[in-house]
Structures are given as structure tokens and as C-alpha cells.
Amino acid sequence: MFIEPTAGKGKRGWIEVVCGSMFSGKTEELIRRLRRAQIANKKTEIFKPAVDTRYHTTDVVSHDSNAIRSTPITNSENILLLADGIEVVGIDEAQFLDAELPTVCEKLAKRGSRVIVAGLDMDFEGKPFGPMPNLLSIADYITKVHAICMQCGEIAHFSYRKSENTNKIMLGEKDAYEPRCRKCYYNL
């Protein structure tokens, strides 16, 4: 369980990363943390890649239909401009953003912002995805969440793509992906 650090004198920023496979609850956890910050009367803002229009064009929406207002962006540098004076910055679907995202998160943390990033740590081929490996290496706090394997019911770490599409980015839901454990993912 994640415990929020207490701040001493002055602003203290940090980076939190919530990662895992599809259907593991990453967005749900991001929304939960942002709502807690809002209850604490913190200035919050959440961003998502403009390419992610699966459930809503602007809102971040979990697979369980929980939603929170967000600002779609086309590149991570936009966050620096739009998050000026924001105490808690949320970023969903980070794997779809550009390689500058870790640098942007560092700058926000140095400004004193709490930065909460959620994203897939691996793509459908089981390889590190987008800027996530670099974000994980600079994060102050990491939470890895897990889904349930749709083949055997064990803990799932992988996002198995059901189609033959080999594009790196393919938006989809349960019709296109399912969580799988290592054994079922590799058909061992």
C-alpha cells in the first residue's frame, strides 16, 4: 500500500509510477489518488494522450467506468505549460507519450509538484513500453498492480493481444486484449 510522504518546510515534489498489465487497475488507482488530493484541497490536474479516445475524448475513464476530468495532450512538453502552479499532476496512459515524459516529470517534481503517472510497463510483446522504463528508473515510489489471468486465474503480468495486428500501438479493450500470467502468455 502506498503511503503519501509528509512534506517538511517548503514544497517537496516527487514522482509516483503505477504500472502493470491491461485490466490491472492502474487508472483506477490513479483516479483514487487524485480524488484524495482533491479532498485535501490540493490543486490537481490530470493529462492523457490525445490518441486515447476509447471511453471518452477528454475524461480519463477506468474499465470500471470511474471517470475524472482530464486534458488531452499531443506531447509531454505541453504538461509543463498547463501544470504551472499545480500541486498534484496526474498522467494516464504514459506509455503512449513521447520520450521526453521522464524529463517533464523531473521538472515538475523539482518545481514541488507531486507527479502520479500510470501506464503499461510492457507492450503486447512483453517488451518495455515507451517512456515507462525511464520513468520507473527515476520514480520515488513505484506501485505494480496485477490483473487476473483469463486463462488460468493466476496473477497476470502480461497484456496478451488477441489479434494478429503487429502495430506497437493498438487501442483496445477486452475484445482485443486479455491479461495473462507468464505461463499462459508464453503457452508453457
Contact 169, 96 (CB under 8 A): yes
- Strand pairing class (141-145; 71-73): unpaired
User: What is the rounded distance in angstroms from the CA atom of residue 172 to the CA atom of residue 145?
Assistant: 19
| Residues identified as active-site | 93
User: Residue 155: how many CB atoms within 10 A of its CB?
Assistant: 14
The three-state secondary structure class of 140 is coil
CA 88 to mean position of chain CA atoms:
14
User: What is the rounded distance in angstroms from the CA atom of residue 169 to the CA atom of residue 165?
Assistant: 10
Strand order across the beta sheet in which 71-73 lies: 71-73, 44-49, 88-91, 114-120, 14-20, 141-145
The three-state secondary structure class of 110 is helix
